[in-house]
Structure 1
Amino acid sequence: MPTAALPSTPQATPATRERGDACPGALRLHTADDGALARIRLPGGVLTLGQAEALGRAARRLGDGDLHLTSRGNVQLRGLAAGCGGELAEALDAAGLLPSREHERVRNVVASPLSGLDGAGLQDVRPWLAALDAALCASDAARGLSGRFLFALDDGRGDVAGLGADVTVRAVGDDAAWLTPGSVRVAAADAPLAAVAAAETFLEAAQSHGVRTWRVSDLPMPAGELDSLIRDRLTAAGIAHEGGPEPVGSADGPPPGAVGAALSVHVPLGRLTARQWEELTLVAGVELRLTPWRGVVVPHEGTTARSAEALARLGAAGLVTDPASPWLRVGACIGRPGCGKAHADVRADAARTLEATGRPALPLYWSGCERRCGHPSGAHIDVLATPDGGYRLSAAAPAGSGRTVSAADPSRIPAALAAITS
């Protein structure tokens, strides 16, 4: 569900945290109403075919059988039985999905999923991805990052640069990259180390201010001050850098269909059944790339006829292959029965009203409670379940009208949507 980025502000809004980060991981499971939950970090959303098969086996053997995609291109396994943590960790480790147990929750990296496949980017970010992951796992300081801290590697097209990451590296041509925060150009070869240096500087800045923070936006200091500290650290590390015009422009995530040397599908509400996962692995030749828009890109070289045949196979399994599908504009949290805090089965309600709501001007995001887990950062319609069994709709920033409309039950959602967008 592509969304625009929120506008930046010259002064970060302080947000000190009274407790530690409880974000789940592969080794730290979260207890939900449908069982334990594990979140497996997949830098850039990249899975080898063997790793994908291992995840599918783990989901079937230990969980509810499905694979749940997150807005960061990671995978969650749900419905895990109590006491299976050791067996899960062993399976993930054997598949190469736990290169560092001390860093497993901080390997949050999104990357342009079509990079190197469609000729649209300025640089293939895959070498950056491998180097950044290795540098993160080699950094003792990086272990202090929260499970919510996010890196973005953009190949220049502007897709993941608009996702509000804490540290963004964007290709700008001339074998260079733009680093944010820091607001400088660095050589492309230095980009991964520069990104880790920026994250380490954030940690030091938080410590010097005596605050516990999870994201760069939490820091109680002007953005320009953090930029200056990062430039000083780059200089000390011998990483050459210079100012220049900040890159502009943005792009959406990959549309469903055949795109360059790849096939792209959207996963309704981010939930992949065992059959759908198996079909993806059968179509994939080498790897899968999970996207931050709850989709999957499959590198695929072949004739037009072969691509059409593969897409038809994936569509028959229930994956979205039509770029006009209304599913591309709908997202939701897990809702009932998986979450005890949810006031409604928001996923079932979203599916029931899909045809009536059509393709609204802004994406819809359904939330079961006020926490709004997984909601997008850009402009969207907030569809919030209320304790009385109804919903409250409002237009979220940055283009919100300030209007709020209530719907007594899910059948009234289309009328409420028309009112909020009129």
Structure 2
Amino acid sequence: MPTTSSLRSRPDLCPGVLRPWSADDGALVRLRLVGGRLAPESLAALRDVSGEYGDGDIHLTRRANLQLRGLPTRAGDLLPDVVRSIEATGLLPSRTHELVRNVMVSPQTALSGGRADLRPVAAELDALLCGTPRLARLPGRFLFVLDDGRGDLVTRPTDLGLVALDATSAQLRVGSTGWGPVVELASAARALTDLALRFLDERGDGPRAPWHVDEVARPLVAPRPPEAATAVTCPALPFGSVGGGEHVAAPGGVVDSALARLLVGHDRELVVTPWRGVLVPSEEAR
């Protein structure tokens, strides 16, 4: 039976600021948030961009990223003024690597529960992704998923990731069902980027090259059994008052001007969640 990748005849077309997707209402662009983290001032600036150039709303994705719709283009590219305005929000830190900054993290990490604070791991992973020129070749659908041990993301399909076993160690995820070695959290970001480079070696080039780890012919590492601690799971974060703050729903995945105004009224870093909501940390959890 042919693999999914063998049926493809083109690279992935995931949208970004420098690779907008043409839709009936104008261009759609996606802005990657590492771990969903979003400064209120960046949200406020993006709201203004959408109000001036787009449909006026900010759209949330199931990977805890942001999208703008209805943007003007010329010859398939965003107008330069729009690109500069988006860049000024601070949400386009790398033009070369914008499409590969796909890093999901347990939204409540360091705020409530979990076995480890994964924010430093995610920040280092993002820095290594953006600082390694060759990793700009990763497909735009390639995804890292980091679960802090509470089990909220452990069942998510992924290319590479980890599950924290305790405050200092984690087991690597290699593909959606595969497991790799146990590593120290201090070295986890480097281990993940090394595996991403190995994936590029295995996938090759051309329009039929695999998009995902599950599609490559050979395993990236010798398969390992999952550690017992990785079996913990928990349901999606409910809306309302939760550990560490308030999970605010964005109906239909849309942050309209009224909801944006409410969210930017806080002086705390926000966390966009994979359930199309925004976690507003409490004062005590800061």
TM-score by length of 2: 0.89
Distance 1:197 1:249 in 2: 27
Structure 2 counterpart of 1:184 = 181
Map 1:136-151 to 2 at 5 A: 136-151=129-144
Map 1:37-76 to 2 at 5 A: 37-76=28-67
Match status 1:215 vs 2:238: no
CA pair 287-85 structure 1, distance change in 2 beyond 3 A: farther
CA deviations on 1:264-318 (whole Å, 9 max, x unpaired) are 1222220111111111111x2221111111111011226xxxxxxxxxxxxxxxx
Structure 2 counterpart of 1:81 = 72
Match status 1:299 vs 2:286: no
CA deviations on 1:9-37 (whole Å, 9 max, x unpaired) are xxx94523311221111111111011111
Aligned positions, number: 275
1:163 is displaced (CA, Å) by: 1.3
1:205 aligned partner, one-letter code = E
Q: Is the Cα–Cα contact under 8 Å of residues 67 and 76 in structure 1 kept in the other structure?
A: yes
CA pair 85-161 structure 1, distance change in 2 beyond 3 A: farther
Partner of residue 255 from structure 2, selected from 263, 272, 275: 272
Distance 2:184 2:93 in 1: 27
Distance 1:87 1:253 in 2: 39
Structure 2 counterpart of 1:330 = none
Q: Is the Cα–Cα contact under 8 Å of residues 46 and 289 in structure 1 kept in the other structure?
A: yes
Q: Is the Cα–Cα contact under 8 Å of residues 149 and 232 in structure 2 kept in the other structure?
A: no
* Range that drifts further, 252-261 or 155-164: 252-261
SS for the counterpart of 2:73 is: coil
SS for the counterpart of 1:105 is: helix
TM-score by length of 1: 0.61
SS for the counterpart of 1:226 is: coil
1:34 aligned partner, one-letter code = D
Distance 2:83 2:202 in 1: 33
CA pair 187-278 structure 1, distance change in 2 beyond 3 A: same
1:85 is displaced (CA, Å) by: 3.4
1:194 is displaced (CA, Å) by: 1.1
* Higher RCO (C-alpha under 8 Å, 6+ residues apart): 2
Distance 1:174 1:100 in 2: 31
1:161 is displaced (CA, Å) by: 2.0
Structure 2 counterpart of 1:107 = 101
Structure 2 counterpart of 1:289 = 271
Q: Is the Cα–Cα contact under 8 Å of residues 9 and 207 in structure 2 kept in the other structure?
A: no
Structure 2 counterpart of 1:201 = 198
CA RMSD, aligned part only?
2.3
Distance 2:215 2:80 in 1: 34
CA pair 197-265 structure 1, distance change in 2 beyond 3 A: same
SS for the counterpart of 2:161 is: strand
Identity %: 40
Identify unmatched segments of 5+ residues in structure 1: 1-11, 232-241, 303-422
- Considering only CA atoms, is the larger Rg found in Structure 1 or Structure 2? 1
Q: Is the Cα–Cα contact under 8 Å of residues 291 and 297 in structure 1 kept in the other structure?
A: yes
1:165 is displaced (CA, Å) by: 1.3
Map 1:2-401 to 2 at 5 A: 13-16=3-6, 17-83=8-74, 84-118=78-112, 120-173=113-166, 175-181=168-174, 183-207=180-204, 211-221=208-218, 225-228=219-222, 245=227, 247-282=230-265, 284-301=266-283
Q: Is the Cα–Cα contact under 8 Å of residues 63 and 274 in structure 2 kept in the other structure?
A: yes
Deviating beyond 3 angstroms after TM superposition, the runs of 4 or more aligned structure 1 residues are: 208-211
SS for the counterpart of 1:264 is: strand
Distance 2:83 2:269 in 1: 22
SS for the counterpart of 2:220 is: helix
Structure 2 counterpart of 1:353 = none
CA deviations on 1:346-385 (whole Å, 9 max, x unpaired) are xxxxxxxxxxxxxxxxxxxxxxxxxxxxxxxxxxxxxxxx
Distance 1:210 1:60 in 2: 37
Distance 1:265 1:174 in 2: 28
2:272 aligned partner, one-letter code = L
Q: Is the Cα–Cα contact under 8 Å of residues 203 and 216 in structure 2 kept in the other structure?
A: yes
Distance 2:209 2:122 in 1: 28
